[in-house]
Amino acid sequence: MPQRRALVVDDSPSIRQAVVGALGLIPDLACTEAGDGAEGIRVASAATFDIVLTDLNMPLVGGLGLVTWLRGRPQTRAVPIVVLTTVSDEENRRRLLAAGATAYLTKPVDAPLLVAKVTELLGRP
């Protein structure tokens, strides 16, 4: 089975840890972390990912900016993007989906739900 790669972008180290920990339950999925959208763009420019998970509110470049950038280039136009939002981000969710986000999940991260969603989006290798 080929190894698949996830990019996890969040300015909260504890949330990145929770997300990476949950994704560790998925076989052959390797995670790379970035601390904000700008770092996410740098990392995604230099490597290929099978899925991107991103926070919404981050310094420098937020989740909406990252989604817009990913969708604007051919190499990442089709990569599944899951945005982690808070309940109060209802208005932003519409913007995120309009910008091309594939799905969003509400924080705090529900590990089984996250694993199920990412597994579904990755499909069969």
What are the residues binding Mg ion (CB under 5 A)?
11, 55, 57-58
Asked whether 7 and 52 are in contact (CB, 8 A), the reply is: yes
Q: How far is the CB of 63 from Mg ion (least distance, A)?
A: 8
The sign of the torsion formed by the CA atoms of 66, 70, 72, 73 equals positive
- Closest separation between CB of residue 103 and Mg ion, Å? 18
* 50 vs 89 by CB, closer to Mg ion: 89
Residue-by-residue DSSP string for 65-119: HHHHHHHTSGGGTTS-EEEEE-GGGHHHHHHHHHHT--EEEESSP-HHHHHHHHH
98 alpha carbon, distance to own chain's centre: 16
> 26 or 63, CB closer to Mg ion?
63
Place of tokens 């904000």: 36
Nearer to Mg ion, 57 or 102 (CB): 57
Please identify which residue in the block is written with the tokens 């230099």.
46
State in angstroms the smallest separation of the CB of 78 from Mg ion. Answer: 26
CB of 16 to Mg ion, least distance (A): 10
Choice between 43 and 122, CB closer to Mg ion: 43
